[in-house]
Structure 1
Amino acid sequence: MTDLFTPYELKGMRLKNRVVMPPMCQYAVENQDGIPNDWHYVHYVSRAVGGTGLIIVEMTGIHPDGRITNNDTGIWSDNHIESYRKITAGVHANGSKIGIQLGHAGRKAQDAEPPAAPSAIPFDERSKMPAALTAQGIEELIEDFRQAARRAVEAGFDTVEIHGAHGYLIHQFHSPLTNTRNDEYGADLALFGEQVITAVKEELPADMPLLMRVSAKEYVDGGYGTEYALGICRRYKAAGVDMFHVSSGGEGPIGSNGGPNAGSAYQVGLAEYIRSGLQVPVIAVGRLESYQEAQSIVNEEQAELVAIGRGMLSDPYWTLHAQEALGGVHNVPKPYERGIWRRK
């Protein structure tokens, strides 16, 4: 039976287990230059030491004004490459694979003056009024995604994830709530995301998988549901996405954490829906701190990979501790054997 510690292969990327650290913003850039620092190096490499199969670096701005805040990381310049290369080398040295999530916050960019968006609709009454992107502005952002992907390859990442969820720019384009344009991008709401995928894909080696994070439903009146999301994902799969990282929310008052009534594994059914509807591999995410629950998702073939967010913020060695709890300990770093490896 396939379990949490069964290796997994997607194109040319081979993972030692099914555990993923999902992108989680650290807001830890010191000089507003987007360059990751020692905090980011320790943060990501420690999860590799902790046994994680795949680590995905936080949403990384493809443009300075595409960051949520100026304390977020970026990859809009070749000056960023060397710092990421140090992180990827450290992760690889400890036996894990690493990806990077490329994104643009759109109207949710707090420090942009003004933020850019498909349409001039602010996120809420406290948010800045965004400027609706011109046709030229859209072309430039697609090129920014392309160049960011090129830099990611040069920096040694094993995969790239495009952020199309949580109310950020690509999500804003494919949501009827936030895209009221009168041009081709308003007539075809999946077009911008599709063009970004095509541009990114052209920069990746043929054997490098392309991931995409999507919100499978919106928690707001008039928001789209799972059937609509499936249609959007069908377009994105045809454009070149190899695996979907299935989340939810991000538009309206309820964010990507699902709100106060969201319990453990609350998004797993959404991942399973996209998986079965498109016959495509998926990553399940959403309050999956329980070792047994993560194991059962893989056992029951609800998802190929399981992302552990909050649990891994709390415990960099979540994967090694899951191995302990589930009785399959192996590949423990030798210096940690006395503390983690319970010999029987």
Structure 2
Amino acid sequence: MSKLFSQAQFGDVTLKNRITMSPMCMYSCFDEDGKITPFHMTHYISRAAGQVGLVFTEATAVQPEGRISAQDLGIWNDAHVEGLKNLNEQIHAYDAKSGIQLGHAGRKADLESTIYAPSAIAFNENYKEPKEMTTDAIKETISAFKNGARRAKEAGFDIIELHGAHGYLINQFLSPLTNVRTDSYGGSKENRYRFLSEIIESVKTEWDGPIFVRISTDEYNENGNTLDDFYFYAKEMKKQGIDLIDCSSGGVVPAKISAYPGYQIPRCEAIKKEVSIATGAIGLITTGIQAEEILQNDRADLIFVARALLRNPYWPKQVADELGEPIEPPTQYKRGWH
């Protein structure tokens, strides 16, 4: 059996294969209310029917001011739970597991309201200048992640991922490029990690399932975090019981990135081997051969697929055929798949 179609275990959660639908913003909520719409139901459930092992929702905001756009999904109040619960029931009906990415955009929120960040530095000239968060605001946001985890549990999710990448709020605290605070949340890498550390501990008071963290493993700026800094963060996350680090890159400051197949894999592999922690590989992974190579060479533990799954909800079937791997379809599709 190919490794791509082997099971993966995280705590009490067993994934039937190692194909993961990466969180991708859909900007599709009606009335700026953050609630699930018919589009979301079709979008996510079709990938579960297509035999993706783990289906992640898009970045889901723990506070209204933490949305990347006004059309993003939310989990900042109890009214969001019902729609997410209905979604999970349908995902689970296809023997897939579900994940929710809890996020906060920080200074990269494109909203009419006030936006917040560790320091009052705009992303670029097209973004508003954020308001520097007070200690009380930081505590409120940490509490919002905890409440988001509680609602995620009520909604029936299997895995939580904390969004610490792509220049959003957690990433803004981690990076010296965006965090110039002089209090206990800024300065040293130990202080810059404090915000994420406290979020993890807060989430764990409400959530006893697996927790992943997505980070940007390269900030593409000589004054940003180094690979050694990411080793430090990963080791701290491991101590706190994080199950997997989802290894993306970029987004914290404007940068030109040369993207090519597998361009983020070297740092994903380096973190896995240096820290002895499970990692998720992402970044222009489009074929079964490519995914299988990453797994067989022990460069990552899960394959996160984004654009390829936008092009083809049945990408698992495509790559199963490529690898000569039998795949069990939904009963309704057997005549076409066998």
Normalised by the length of structure 2, the TM-score is 0.97
- Identify the residue that residue 203 of structure 1 maps to in structure 2: 206
In structure 1, the residue matched to 2:231 is 230
Map 1:1-344 to 2 at 5 A: 3-187=3-187, 188-205=191-208, 208-254=209-255, 259=257, 261-341=258-338
> 3-state DSSP class of the match of 1:181?
coil
Unaligned segments of structure 1, at least 5 residues = none
Paired residues, what number?
335
**Rounded Cα–Cα distance in structure 1 between residues aligned with 2:165 and 2:4:** 25
Q: What is the alpha-carbon distance in structure 1 between the residues aligned to residue 212 and residue 289 of structure 2?
A: 26
Deviations 1:100-159 (A, max 9, x none): 000100000010522100000000111101000001000000000000000000000001
Paired residues of 1:100 and 1:159 also in contact (CA < 8 A) = yes
User: What secondary structure does 2:192 align onto?
Assistant: coil
**d(CA) in 1 for partners of 2:332 and 2:79?**
35
RMSD across aligned positions (CA): 1.2
* 1:332 alignment partner AA: P
Contact map agreement 1:324 1:340 (CA 8 A) in 2:
no
Deviation at 1:93, TM superposition (A): 0.2
Once the two structures are overlaid, the 10-residue window that deviates more, 195-204 or 217-226, is 217-226
Q: Deviations over 1:252-278 (max 9, x none)?
A: 223xxx73x211111111111111111
Using the alignment, how far apart are the partners of 2:216 and 2:299 within structure 1? 17
Contact 2:177 2:253 in 1 (8 A): no
SS in 2 for 1:306: strand
Runs of 4+ in 1 over 4 A off after TM superposition: none
Any idea what SS the aligned residue of 1:28 has? coil
Q: Distance in 2 between matches of 1:338 and 1:266?
A: 38
Contact 1:220/1:253 (<8 A) preserved: no
Q: What letter is aligned with 2:328? A: N
Task: Give 1:2 deviation, angstroms.
Answer: 5.6
Return 5+ residue gaps in structure 2 as ranges.
none
- Contact map agreement 2:2 2:292 (CA 8 A) in 1: no
Secondary structure, counterpart of 1:186 in structure 2: coil
Percent identity over the alignment is 40
Q: Deviations over 1:25-51 (max 9, x none)?
A: 000001100001110011111000000
| Contact kept? 1:62, 1:103, Cα under 8 Å | yes
Q: 96-105 or 295-304: which moved more?
A: 295-304
**Which amino acid is the alignment partner of residue 92 of structure 1?**
H
Asked if 1 retains the 8 angstrom alpha-carbon contact of 2:2 and 2:323, the reply is: no
Question: Is the contact made by 1:198 and 1:240 (CA closer than 8 Å) also made in structure 2?
Answer: no
